[in-house]
């Protein structure tokens, strides 16, 4: 077993694998614990299959789960292959899951827990389009939930009218057949927004991506409301 002094040396020795990422998640690491000093997460460590070694702190979820993505492209990479992402997630978790380090040193357990948590959070963030878009915007310092008035086009009247009409249709629906029609119409809007969102990120048009992410959140919420629909049940849409 290695002591924390060795860990501190190794922390600097791996810097050559990856330079500090300009879009790294600023609040993820390091964890604030006293002793021993925790490791930090990088795809390098998981590839080595040794979760007990600390590596560079500046890693994004793409670095860990989609390591072939160039660093400069990470904050614009909206399109991902779900199968590749899941296979990578399962492979990494098989190497760093804390259950495999129950009898290891405290430092090794902390490292394994930290990396397993980071990989889980990364997979949840990248698996589905809405959290993925939200995560990418966060790399630009933006939160689509923050309606602070700085972007008057973030939520436009036409969008709000469509949302109100969808909500009314859900509340007035009487049969499952009614709901099927609402779902089909909403899926068309949702898929059109996804295509536009993909185009916006590829064009590196972040203001457009933010507006479209707000739209996507509404369509996802309507989809969930339609799935949860019951006759007479009040329709609640999160914004």
The model scores a pTM over 0.85: no
Half-sphere exposure of 196 (CA within 13 A, CB side): 16
What does the pLDDT read at residue 231? 75
What does the pLDDT read at residue 20? 37
Report how far residue 231's alpha carbon sits from residue 172's, in angstroms, rounded to the nearest whole number. 9
DSSP annotation of 71 reads G
Helices 206-227/157-172 angle, 10° precision: 10
Report how far residue 102's alpha carbon sits from residue 109's, in angstroms, rounded to the nearest whole number. 7
Report how far residue 134's alpha carbon sits from residue 145's, in angstroms, rounded to the nearest whole number. 9
Nearest residue to 97 via CA among 122, 85, 115: 115
Helical ranges in 69-128 per DSSP H: 82-96, 106-127
What does the pLDDT read at residue 7? 30
Kindly give the confidence (pLDDT) of every residue in the chain, 239 residues in length, as a single tens digit, with 9 standing for 90 and above. 433 332 332 322 222 223 334 334 333 333 232 233 345 444 334 444 444 444 445 678 998 899 899 989 999 999 999 999 999 999 988 888 888 888 877 777 777 888 888 889 999 999 999 999 999 999 999 987 765 545 545 567 888 899 989 988 998 888 889 999 999 999 999 999 999 999 999 999 999 999 999 999 999 999 999 998 877 667 666 65
Q: How far is CA 124 from CA 106, 140, 226, in A?
A: 27, 19, 23
What does the pLDDT read at residue 47? 41
Hey, what are 160's tokens?
Answer: 């709000």
Report how far residue 50's alpha carbon sits from residue 45's, in angstroms, rounded to the nearest whole number. 6
What does the pLDDT read at residue 33? 29
What does the pLDDT read at residue 221? 93
């Amino acid at each position: 077993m290695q002591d924390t002094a060795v860990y501190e040396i190794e922390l600097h020795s791996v810097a050559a694998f990856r330079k500090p990422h300009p879009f790294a998640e600023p609040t993820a690491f390091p964890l604030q614990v006293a002793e021993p000093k925790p490791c930090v997460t990088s795809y390098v460590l998981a590839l080595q299959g040794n979760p007990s070694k600390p590596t560079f702190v500046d890693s994004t979820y793409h670095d860990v789960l989609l390591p072939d993505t160039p660093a400069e492209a990470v904050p614009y990479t909206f399109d991902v292959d779900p199968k590749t992402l899941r296979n990578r997630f399962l492979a990494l978790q098989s190497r760093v899951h804390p259950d495999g380090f129950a009898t290891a040193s405290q430092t090794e357990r902390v490292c394994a827990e930290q990396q397993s948590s980071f990989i889980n959070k990364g997979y949840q963030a990248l698996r589905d389009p809405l959290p993925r878009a939200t995560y990418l915007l966060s790399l630009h310092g933006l939160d689509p939930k923050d309606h602070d008035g700085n972007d008057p086009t973030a939520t436009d009247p036409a969008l709000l009218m469509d949302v109100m009409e969808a909500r009314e249709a859900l509340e007035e629906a009487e049969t499952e057949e009614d709901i099927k029609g609402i779902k089909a119409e909403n899926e068309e809007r949702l898929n059109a927004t996804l295509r536009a969102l993909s185009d916006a990120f590829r064009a590196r048009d972040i203001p457009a991506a933010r507006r479209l992410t707000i739209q996507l959140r509404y369509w996802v919420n309507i989809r969930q409301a339609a799935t949860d629909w019951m006759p007479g049940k009040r329709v609640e849409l999160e914004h």
